[in-house]
Amino acid sequence: NFLNHFREAGVGDAWVALPELFKRAGYLVTGANKLYHEGLPPNFDLPRSWSTSGPDGEPWPYLDEVPANASTSCDHANLSFTDDGRFCLTTPVPERYLTDEAAARLVASRLADAIASWEKTSQPFFVGLGTHKPHLTWTYPRPFFDAIPEGVTEAAHQAWPAQTPHLAFHECAEVMEVLDT
């Protein structure tokens, strides 16, 4: 592992990241959300890994921030149990989105721009979308929760298979705390 990030001098400063590889090959390169850890490498590796302007020449920064219209309010009305702050139900509101949903919408818009640019110029493109690992508090739309029928049985296999290599399993402390859910 690194002390800070993979662009540290003497560690990975000469490494080529995947989006950088596409950029070096002449691709239009953009992305959003968690493709790197927040701020690591600094500035999400701009301009080294990402195109700094879009097809129209306007600034096209890499984006990994909660949009102003993100939904952050929790709706725990009429729950038949106590959740201990482990999850947050949101009630969909027009033009307000969960963070990953907002990022998906942004990337879809940029994908449309990249396709339109490719049709005019034949410049290939790479569009990346990362998602934030589900940290507690888990947030999801209330209609998804309400669609779960009463009496759903627990999963039959709740433990990681014994023959699976340890490398294949990430023991996330947050998830390990709630294996009973």
Higher-confidence residue: 160 or 78?
160
Mean pLDDT value of segment 116-145: 83
For every residue of 53-69, DSSP letters joined together read B-TTSSB---B-S--TT
Q: Phi and psi dihedrals of 127, rounded to 5?
A: -125, 120
Domain residue extents for the chain: 18-149+162-176
Pairing, β 87-90 against β 138-141: parallel
Asked if the model's pLDDT at residue 1 lies above 50, the reply is no
Taking only the tens place, the pLDDT of each residue in 142-169 is 788 888 888 888 778 777 788 888 777 6
